[in-house]
């Protein structure tokens, strides 16, 4: 058997060349054809074809053609399987749902929802998204409760942060940090709880990758089990309708206070955040309908969650602290209302920070210079050995 190393490489042809080496010195039989010797020439050619040398040449030629594939050869991307999409194990049989990462776990979830509910793929994506968001809702509720506790003491926390930024010595900075820590402890505020919604990122990544791979693999039913204007989940939304719905819902959710219902973003930051959903329409326009359907469903659920967490009756039912507006402190600097005011304030804070840093450096250099001048005679006394 020939062992081929690679396409088009010399190493791949060496075994064949070695097998043909004994034949290099052999001269091909010279046959003279004329009208009187056609029968003998035919018999001679037949004998040559049946010779052992010819058989060996044909064998090597067939084996090389079987092993060496042309550059226009493309292996089958999707393995053949006898299973169907309404059977558990179908995705694994075509190379998906392997391993225990976020993508594989989401693929298994989608397959189980599709098989056990009998729903078409578009409804399967919606149901799986609702199930995951329902399981993760307690994390958002905990973050919302923590945000509600921060609202009444927000001016105190802002003052402590300002003192930390303006501290002229490590001692002053430590005092400001300790003051902020005491405020958080007194009101049972845990800054780590504000990061709980970030746990949705691996799940969102898993859904994105799973649906992208399932669309590229032409999973059975993906081409026909869409709905409305996006009947083919493997293709892009022809009207960008899902992208437009997603953008509109996200913008409304931002205006209502984010997913926890208690965001304290300033107006300029909100305006910047409002531009992101519009940009996402152009970013996701080439994504398959299956992926954008997940984005759309997830954004609608976020809006529903925001509405519930802003409801006083719902918060009372879940025994969450009420959501109140931060108190207004007299004499406190007015928060910027436009992007221009926010940018000017940012530039001013950066300039003040640079001036403060230069002043601190100058003070340290002056102190070092005075220390040197106070030394006796300006020299450092050395002891004799």
pLDDT in tens, 173-216: 888 899 999 999 999 999 888 888 888 999 999 999 999 999 99
Of 297 and 68, the one with more pLDDT: 297
Q: Which of 68, 95, 88, 91 is nearest to 8 (CA)?
A: 68
Which phi and psi (to 5°) does residue 106 adopt?
A: -65, -40
Q: What is the spatial distance between Cα 75 and Cα 139, in angstroms, rounded to a whole number?
A: 46
Of 77 and 334, the one with more pLDDT: 334
- For residue 261, what pLDDT is reported? 62
Q: Which two tokens stand for residue 38?
A: 């056609």
Could you read off the pLDDT of 321-370 as tens digits, one per residue? Answer: 998 877 776 655 566 666 676 667 777 777 777 777 787 788 778 878 87
- For residue 21, what pLDDT is reported? 47
Q: What is the spatial distance between Cα 77 and Cα 130, in angstroms, rounded to a whole number?
A: 32
Q: Which of 98, 359, 47, 338 is nearest to 210 (CA)?
A: 98
Of 30 and 88, the one with more pLDDT: 88
- For residue 191, what pLDDT is reported? 87
Q: Which of 205, 311, 297 is nearest to 257 (CA)?
A: 311
Q: Which two tokens stand for residue 184?
A: 């958080």
Q: Which two tokens stand for residue 176?
A: 């400001």
Best-predicted range by mean pLDDT among 72-76, 82-86, 227-231? 227-231
- For residue 371, what pLDDT is reported? 77
Average pLDDT, rounded, for the chain: 78
- For residue 60, what pLDDT is reported? 54
Instruction: Tell me the sheet residues that pair with 230.
Output: 227
Is the model's pLDDT at 290 over the cut of 60? yes
Angle at 320 between CA 180 and CA 149, to 5 degrees: 15
Q: Which of 185, 197, 182, 200 is nearest to 144 (CA)?
A: 197
Q: DSSP string covering 240-307, please?
A: -HHHHHHHHHHHHHHHHTSTTS-----HHHHHHHHHHHHHHHHHSTTSBHHHHHHHHHHHHHHHHHHH
- For residue 111, what pLDDT is reported? 97
Burial of residue 151 (CB within 10 Å: 0-12, 13-18, 19+) is middle
Q: Which two tokens stand for residue 61?
A: 């030629």
pLDDT bin (cut points 50, 70, 90) of residue 35 is very low
Read off the pLDDT of each residue in 115-125 and give the average, rounded to a whole number: 96
Neighbours of 137 (CB within 10 A): 15
- The count of residues in the chain is 385
Residues whose CB falls within 8 Å of the CB of residue 200, separated by 6 or more in sequence, listed in order: 136, 139
Q: What is the spatial distance between Cα 230 and Cα 223, in angstroms, rounded to a whole number?
A: 10
pLDDT bin (cut points 50, 70, 90) of residue 376 is low
Is the model's pLDDT at 23 over the cut of 80? no
Is the model's pLDDT at 156 over the cut of 70? yes
Residues whose CB falls within 8 Å of the CB of residue 76, separated by 6 or more in sequence, listed in order: none
Q: Which of 164, 199, 197 is nearest to 179 (CA)?
A: 164
Q: Which of 90-99, 151-160, 209-218 has the lowest mean pLDDT?
A: 151-160
Instruction: Tell me the sheet residues that pair with 236.
Output: 288
The DSSP letter of residue 320 is P
Which phi and psi (to 5°) does residue 96 adopt?
A: -110, 180
Structural contact between residues 292 and 242, judged by C-beta atoms closer than 8 angstroms? yes
Q: What is the spatial distance between Cα 267 and Cα 307, in angstroms, rounded to a whole number?
A: 20
Q: Which two tokens stand for residue 331?
A: 């004499």
What pTM, to 2 d.p., does this model score? 0.69
Q: Which two tokens stand for residue 30?
A: 């010279």
- For residue 34, what pLDDT is reported? 45
Residues whose CB falls within 8 Å of the CB of residue 342, separated by 6 or more in sequence, listed in order: 266, 268, 269, 336
């Amino acid at each position: 058997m020939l062992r081929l190393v690679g396409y088009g490489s010399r190493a791949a042809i060496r075994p064949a060349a070695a097998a043909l080496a004994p034949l290099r010195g052999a001269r091909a039989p010279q046959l003279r054809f004329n009208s009187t010797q056609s029968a003998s020439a035919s018999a001679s050619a037949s004998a040559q074809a049946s010779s052992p040398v010819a058989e060996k040449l044909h064998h090597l030629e067939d084996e090389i053609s079987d092993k060496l594939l042309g550059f226009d050869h493309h292996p089958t991307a999707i393995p053949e399987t006898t299973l169907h999409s309404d059977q558990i194990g179908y995705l694994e049989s075509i190379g998906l749902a392997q391993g225990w990462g976020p993508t594989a776990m989401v693929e298994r979830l989608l397959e189980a929802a599709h098989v056990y509910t009998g729903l078409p793929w578009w409804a399967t994506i919606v149901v799986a998204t609702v199930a995951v968001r329902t399981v993760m809702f307690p994390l958002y509720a905990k973050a919302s409760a923590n945000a509600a506790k921060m609202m009444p003491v927000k001016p105190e926390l802002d003052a402590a942060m300002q003192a930390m930024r303006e501290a002229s010595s490590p001692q002053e900075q430590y005092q400001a940090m300790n003051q902020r820590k005491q405020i958080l402890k007194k009101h049972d505020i845990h800054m780590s709880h504000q990061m709980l919604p970030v746990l949705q990122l691996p799940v969102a990544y898993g859904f994105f990758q799973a649906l992208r791979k399932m669309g590229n693999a032409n999973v059975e039913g993906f081409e026909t089990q869409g709905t409305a204007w996006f009947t083919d989940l493997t293709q892009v939304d022809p009207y960008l309708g899902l992208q437009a719905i997603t953008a509109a819902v996200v913008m409304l959710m931002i205006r209502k206070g984010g997913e926890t219902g208690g965001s304290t973003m300033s107006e300029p930051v909100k305006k910047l955040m409002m531009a992101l959903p519009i940009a996402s329409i152009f970013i996701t326009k080439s994504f398959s309908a299956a992926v954008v359907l997940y984005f759309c469903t997830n954004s609608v659920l976020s809006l529903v969650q925001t509405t519930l967490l802003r409801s006083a009756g719902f918060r009372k039912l879940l025994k969450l602290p009420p959501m109140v507006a931060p108190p207004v402190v007299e004499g406190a600097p007015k928060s910027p209302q436009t992007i221009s005011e926010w940018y000017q304030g940012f530039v001013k804070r950066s300039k003040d920070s640079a001036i403060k840093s230069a002043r601190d450096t100058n003070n340290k250099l002056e102190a070092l210079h005075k220390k040197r001048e106070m030394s006796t005679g300006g020299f450092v006394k050395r002891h004799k050995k």
